[in-house]
């Protein structure tokens, strides 16, 4: 059996260029000069003068010395649609591919050769349109009418090597359309019900598409379009009336265009607006924060406080806020806030989420917001504990880790733990957390009680530890809302989520001993906070706590193998001397030092071009998710 060969493109001599024109001779002159410079000399060019008053169009053509240019004048004013049909059926040579080219265009080097090559890459390619500065969904950047034409061309030159040869499109744009002769012979050209113009090319594409032929974008060809307002005051009524005709005939049109923009638009194009000269932007995303004070918010807000000054001189930094995150609005005074909305087209150069990506909605939103996606992995307790997990959690974590441009972990343990859980080697940068406790000497207070710290979650083991501390007094317990019954008078129960960060800081400062019985932590920030104040700390002997003990080398940290040892360890610690009068240990990092590590990483990431492979990888995941919604 012989191999089936793809159609090879014919010579450019097979192409006839038709330029419908009515008035605007100066614009036509620009178009013709660009054709003289960049169009192949073996293709024929016809200027179709739609009965323009006077001889300005004819004179413009006479001044052009192209031997392959022919001026043809219509006896009557036909309108754009009918002029195109007249030019194809009555003026152009038969059996030729036709390039319909608006007179308010300017072609660039190699445009026609590339369009012709793409047209014949497949038998099913019926119409090709190039990229442009102003051509609706073919525009680069998309939805950026304020961009100057030359800036659009420069952006296209930067990204074209990252774009495929062609992209299947839902329609074509009439400012520049190369149509196969075979298509014209089978289906004709425009339906003159759309005269004098608007939606004729959409109708044409929908018509041939029902027979399996496609409109495609020649991504490596560019033609300027200096669009002007056509048809004067009747423009709006024409658009409205002709759109009604189109949608009645082809109800799939609207769905196909919106589907392309939502699911098929190449992310390289989506973020091409960021190729303009601009001050780079960072979104510090806090939309995930629950309306409580917890370790997650403590990390996010402390890091922000010292990271923002390190970034604001070089970048515009915005704080993403929404939902429950507005609980912290008073703490975010003075920052530039951003609330994401479905209709927003705002994009940033980099988005950072100081927490895990827990949901597909988060995954989608972060990808939509920036070409560089980064986040901090605090821990994988939500995967380790089945009561916290959900069926899709493992898949979300896997794709988030693999497709992020940078993942930070808050300890070496949290990095190895996620790798152990998934049996994969995810790259990540471990940056230990810091503390600002103890920077003020007034915080070094004499102890008044034992402080048992945790929250409502089982792995924090607050109630388990409390059983071994009931004879210790006085005792303050930082736990969940569910207070145990019949607590002794010397035990004070406090709900962790309802206390402000300042109140928690005061509680630690006034403690004589801090007990932190958690069986699982990504880092263990309360341990570092307490040690910074010279407090004695008792914690479970876990991998992450051993990592902290080695990094801090602080004699006030005591690790016990189990809670069965807690009573004896507590009594011994209370009887022995503590280093409470000493200044803040030098080995405890400040949040400013932590922020400096993140700032360096962000600078390095923003100095590089976005990772196209990861960008498209995230897009493909979202495309699959969107497709699954229709199952």
190 and 162 in one domain?
yes
- Which comes out higher in pLDDT, residue 329 or 521? 521
In this model, does residue 325 exceed pLDDT 70? no
Give 403-456 pLDDT, tens digit per residue.
999 999 999 999 999 999 999 999 999 999 999 998 888 888 888 999 999 988
Residues 451-466 have a mean pLDDT of 94
Task: Indicate the range of 153-157, 164-168, 288-292 predicted with least confidence.
Answer: 288-292
- Domain stop point among 222, 251, 270: 270
Burial 574-597 (b: 16+ CB within 10 A, else e): eeeebebeeebbeebbbbeebbbb
Q: Which domain holds residue 608?
A: 279-434+604-628
- In this prediction, residue 372 carries a pLDDT of 98
- In this prediction, residue 355 carries a pLDDT of 95
In this model, does residue 250 exceed pLDDT 90? yes
The total of structural domains in the chain comes to 3
Residue with tokens 């400040």: 590
Domain at 570, CATH number: 3.40.50.2000
199 and 64 in one domain?
yes
In this model, does residue 229 exceed pLDDT 60? no
477 and 334 in one domain?
no
596 found inside a domain: no
123 and 216 in one domain?
yes
Residues 532-545 have a mean pLDDT of 96
Give 99-157 pLDDT, tens digit per residue.
999 999 999 999 999 999 999 999 999 999 999 999 999 999 998 878 999 999 999 99
6 found inside a domain: no
In this model, does residue 248 exceed pLDDT 80? yes
Count of beta carbons in the 10 Å neighbourhood of residue 500: 10
598 found inside a domain: no
422 and 452 in one domain?
no
The vertex-313 CA angle with 312 and 317, nearest 5°, equals 25
459 and 582 in one domain?
yes
Give 347-368 pLDDT, tens digit per residue.
999 999 999 999 999 999 999 9
- Domain stop point among 229, 249, 270: 270
Sheet holding 536-540, edge to edge: 491-495, 475-479, 449-453, 511-516, 536-540, 557-560
Name the band, by pLDDT with cuts 50, 70 and 90, for residue 541.
very high
Name the band, by pLDDT with cuts 50, 70 and 90, for residue 2.
very low
Residues 191-202 have a mean pLDDT of 93
- In this prediction, residue 213 carries a pLDDT of 98
Q: What is the pTM of this model?
A: 0.90
Domain at 121, CATH number: 3.90.550.10
Percentage of residues of the chain with pLDDT beyond 70:
96
| N-term to C-term CA, the chain | 39
Give 545-554 pLDDT, tens digit per residue.
999 999 999 9
Q: Cα(150)–Cα(137) distance, rounded to whole angstroms?
A: 18
Q: Cα(97)–Cα(550) distance, rounded to whole angstroms?
A: 75
Q: Are 577 and 599 within 8 A, CB to CB? A: no
256 and 290 in one domain?
no
Identify the bridge partners of residue 319 per DSSP, sorted by sequence position: 284, 337
- Domain stop point among 270, 287, 314: 270
72 and 217 in one domain?
yes
3 found inside a domain: no
């Amino acid at each position: 059996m012989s191999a089936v060969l793809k159609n090879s493109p014919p010579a450019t001599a097979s192409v006839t260029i038709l330029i419908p024109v009515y008035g605007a001779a100066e614009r036509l002159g620009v178009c013709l000069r660009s054709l003289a410079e960049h169009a192949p000399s073996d293709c024929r060019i016809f200027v179709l003068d739609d009965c323009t008053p006077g001889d300005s169009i004819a004179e413009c053509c006479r001044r052009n010395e192209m031997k392959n240019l022919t001026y043809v004048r219509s006896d009557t004013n036909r309108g754009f649609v009918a002029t195109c049909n007249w030019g194809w059926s009555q003026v152009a040579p038969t059996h030729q591919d036709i390039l319909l080219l608006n007179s308010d265009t300017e072609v660039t080097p190699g445009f026609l050769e590339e369009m012709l090559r793409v047209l014949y890459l497949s038998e099913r390619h019926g119409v090709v349109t190039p990229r442009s500065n102003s051509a609706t969904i073919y525009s680069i950047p998309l939805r950026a009418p304020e961009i100057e034409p030359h800036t659009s061309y420069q952006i296209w030159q930067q990204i074209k090597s990252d774009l495929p040869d062609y992209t299947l499109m839902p329609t074509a744009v009439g400012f520049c359309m190369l149509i196969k002769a075979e298509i014209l012979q089978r289906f004709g050209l425009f339906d003159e019900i759309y005269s004098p113009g608007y939606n004729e090319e959409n109708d044409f594409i929908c018509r041939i598409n029902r027979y399996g032929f496609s409109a495609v974008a020649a991504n490596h060809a560019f033609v300027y379009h200096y669009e002007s307002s056509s048809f004067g005051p009747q423009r709006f009524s024409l658009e409205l009336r002709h759109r009604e005709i189109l949608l009645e005939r082809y109800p799939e049109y609207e769905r196909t265009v919106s589907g392309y923009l939502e699911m098929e638009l190449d992310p390289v194009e989506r973020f091409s607006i960021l190729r303009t000269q601009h001050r780079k932007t960072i979104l510090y995303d806090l939309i995930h924060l629950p309306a409580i004070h917890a370790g997650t918010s403590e990390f996010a807000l402390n890091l922000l406080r010292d990271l923002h000054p390190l970034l604001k001189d070089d970048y515009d930094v915005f704080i993403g806020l929404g939902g429950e995150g507005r609980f912290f609005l008073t703490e975010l005074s003075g920052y530039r806030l951003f609330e994401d909305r479905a209709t927003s087209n705002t994009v940033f150069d980099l988005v950072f989420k100081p927490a895990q990506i827990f949901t597909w909605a988060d995954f989608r939103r972060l990808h939509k917001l920036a070409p560089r996606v980064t986040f901090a992995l605090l821990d994988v307790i939500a995967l380790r504990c089945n009561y916290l997990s959900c069926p899709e959690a493992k898949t979300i974590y896997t794709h988030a880790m693999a497709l992020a441009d940078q993942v930070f972990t808050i300890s070496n343990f949290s990095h190895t733990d996620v790798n152990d859980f998934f049996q994969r080697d995810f790259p990540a940068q471990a940056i230990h957390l810091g503390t600002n406790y103890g920077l003020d000497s007034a915080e070094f207070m004499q102890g008044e009680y034992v402080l048992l710290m945790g929250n409502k979650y089982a792995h924090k083991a607050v109630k388990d530890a409390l059983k071994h501390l009931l004879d210790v007094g006085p005792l303050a317990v930082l736990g969940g809302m569910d207070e145990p019954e019949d607590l002794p008078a010397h035990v004070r129960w406090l709900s962790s989520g309802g206390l402000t960060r300042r109140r928690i800081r005061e509680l630690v400062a006034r403690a004589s001993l801090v007990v932190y019985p958690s069986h699982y932590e990504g880092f263990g920030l309360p341990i570092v906070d307490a040690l910074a104040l010279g407090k004695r700390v008792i914690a479970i002997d876990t991998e992450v706590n051993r990592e902290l003990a080695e990094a801090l080398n602080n004699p006030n940290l005591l690790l016990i193998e189990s809670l069965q040892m807690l009573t004896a360890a507590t009594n011994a610690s209370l009887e022995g001397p503590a280093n409470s009068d000493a200044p803040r240990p030098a080995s405890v990092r400040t949040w400013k030092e932590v922020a400096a590590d993140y700032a360096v990483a962000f600078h390095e990431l923003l100095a590089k071009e976005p990772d196209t492979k990861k960008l498209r990888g995230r897009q493909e995941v979202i495309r699959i998710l969107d497709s699954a919604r229709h199952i």
